[in-house]
Structures are given as structure tokens and as C-alpha cells.
Amino acid sequence: MTQQLSELERDELAESLSVDGHVEVMFAGSERLRYMPGVPSTWQKALASRENAPYQVLDLWQPLRRLLPRTVEILKSRLVDVLLASLGASRYSLVYVFRQEGEVMAQIGYLPATEAQFVSIPGKLRTLLAPFYLVHDGWVDIHSRDGGPLPISEWISFKAGSTAGPTLLATYSNGGHFAGFDLSDPLLTPYGLWPEDDEVQKLNDFWTHVDDQIAASLEDCDQELKGSGMLRRKHPSPHNHNVVYE
């Protein structure tokens, strides 16, 4: 069995989230969860029992099994605990907890995107990204706030390479690496972008690239009990090789 979070470790997670304002982090199975307005019913179900939460939350990810197969497998084998973070005014996040050599790592999954958030997104891009964003409007590292698909409000536009290069909309970030799309291209060609190196690479497939990046950062997490530890910062993963060089 993996080791669930202690109350001290939970409080450390809350402190890490407190940069967003006052925050309360609750274990699954908490009586209060039943009466909090705005928590999605699917989250309520997943968090009904602390013992079962790491398994129940996988139901949220079922639509993503083909999109992010490596990530889903890591969730199945390495997820230690799932908590609810409340920032008040019906602002909630799921906190996905992992251990690496006994130390705690965590990813934040924000509330699912709303119809209003999708309105301004071009149709083809909306179709491509909706399966994930209907699960979480962003899934990022608790410290760096990257390392996964970014919240819609934090998508970034980049000029790729030279002034003649395409303008890319980055929807994924990990350290100094971004991935996104050339919106001027009817095919919505995906690209990987390393601005500090002025490097742009065409990707075979956007979600395969994201899946490989997430898996690379989490695959070394513990699968079984290896003792307790303090909160660990996740380091960005190296360049991914799911690319086509032009």
C-alpha cells in the first residue's frame, strides 16, 4: 500500500496553495465536502471515501485513456491521495498527491472549463482540447504552476523563431518548454517551443507529446510505501523526442 498524507503534509500543501489567497485543503471523506456549494457531483462521488479516492478519481480520467494513456497508467499505479482545495466563492481544485523517494509531490486539477470559457476558442481547437478541459481547466504542478496543460486564462501567444515565423498559441508549459498550435494553419499544426534556445519543432501529435512530458516527470514516483517526507519540488523534464525536424 502507498502511504496517505499526514495532517502535517496536508498543511504544507495548503501553505503552497496560499499564494492564491486563503485556502482550505480537505481530505477525501470529510463530512464538509457534502455541503460545499459548487463542487461538481463527479468530484463529490470521487471524494466520498478517502481510502477509495485515488481509485474513484480515475473515473474522471476515463475519457482521456486514449488521449493520455501513459499519464492514466501513472495515476493508476502511483497516485497516493486526492484532496479538495477550497479558495472560497466556489473556487475549488483537486490536489493529486504522489511520492518520490517518500517525499510529497502534487499536481493541481482545476474545475472543468465552462461553456463560456469555450466560446472564444476556434471550433477545431475547441474540439481537440475539450476532452481534457472538460475534466480540468488546467493540471499543473503545485509549486511551478506548469508541468501540464495550462488553464485557458493562462494560454500564451508566442512568435515562433524569426519574425517570419508563425504565431503559436501555447496551451502546455513545462519549465522553459511550451507546446501549442499555429492558429493561422487550417490543420492546426502542433509545435514544441523552447524560447530561450530560440528552438521550434513541429510535433507529430500534440497530446502524445504532452502525455510523454507528463509521464517523464511522474514515472519515477513511488509505487509502494517508502516512508514519509516533506514537500518536494518537481523539476522540469528534458526535451521530448516526439517531434518532426524540418
pLDDT tens for the chain, 246 residues long, are 457 889 999 999 999 888 777 789 999 999 888 888 899 999 999 999 999 999 999 999 999 999 999 999 999 999 999 999 998 777 899 999 999 988 899 999 999 999 899 888 989 999 999 999 999 999 999 999 999 999 999 999 987 666 666 788 999 999 889 999 998 899 999 999 887 777 889 999 999 999 999 999 999 999 844 333 334 434 343 333 343 322
Count structural domains, the chain: 1
Q: With respect to residue 192, please indicate whether it lies within any of the assigned structural domains.
A: yes
Measured at the alpha carbon of residue 125, what is the angle toward residues 152 and 138, in degrees to the nearest 5? 25
Burial (Cβ within 10 Å: 0-12, 13-18, ≥19) of residue 236: middle
What's the CA gap between 167 and 187, in Å, rounded? 14
What's the CA gap between 113 and 20, in Å, rounded? 19
Q: Which strand (E) or helix (H) includes residue 64?
A: none
Q: With respect to residue 243, please indicate whether it lies within any of the assigned structural domains.
A: no
Q: With respect to residue 16, please indicate whether it lies within any of the assigned structural domains.
A: yes
CA proximity to 170, closest of 152, 156, 182 = 156
Measured at the alpha carbon of residue 26, what is the angle toward residues 6 and 53, in degrees to the nearest 5? 80
Residue 86: CA count within 13 A, CB half-sphere: 18
Q: With respect to residue 142, please indicate whether it lies within any of the assigned structural domains.
A: yes
Q: Rounded to a whole number, what is the largest CA-CA distance in the chain?
A: 57
Find the domain containing 219 and state its range: 7-233
Q: With respect to residue 246, please indicate whether it lies within any of the assigned structural domains.
A: no
Q: With respect to residue 13, please indicate whether it lies within any of the assigned structural domains.
A: yes
Query: Is pTM, for the whole model, over 0.75?
Result: yes
According to the model, what pLDDT value does residue 97 have?
A: 95
164 to 80, 171, 182: CA distances (angstroms) = 47, 22, 13
Q: With respect to residue 240, please indicate whether it lies within any of the assigned structural domains.
A: no
According to the model, what pLDDT value does residue 235 have?
A: 39
According to the model, what pLDDT value does residue 167 have?
A: 83
Q: What is the DSSP string of 149-197?
A: EPPGGG-EEEE-SSTTSPEEEEEEEETTEEEEEETTSTT--EEEEEGGG
Q: With respect to residue 245, please indicate whether it lies within any of the assigned structural domains.
A: no
**Cell numbers 475549488 label which residue?**
92
Cβ-Cβ contacts under 8 Å for 88 (sequence gap 6 or more): 21, 22
What's the CA gap between 35 and 206, in Å, rounded? 39
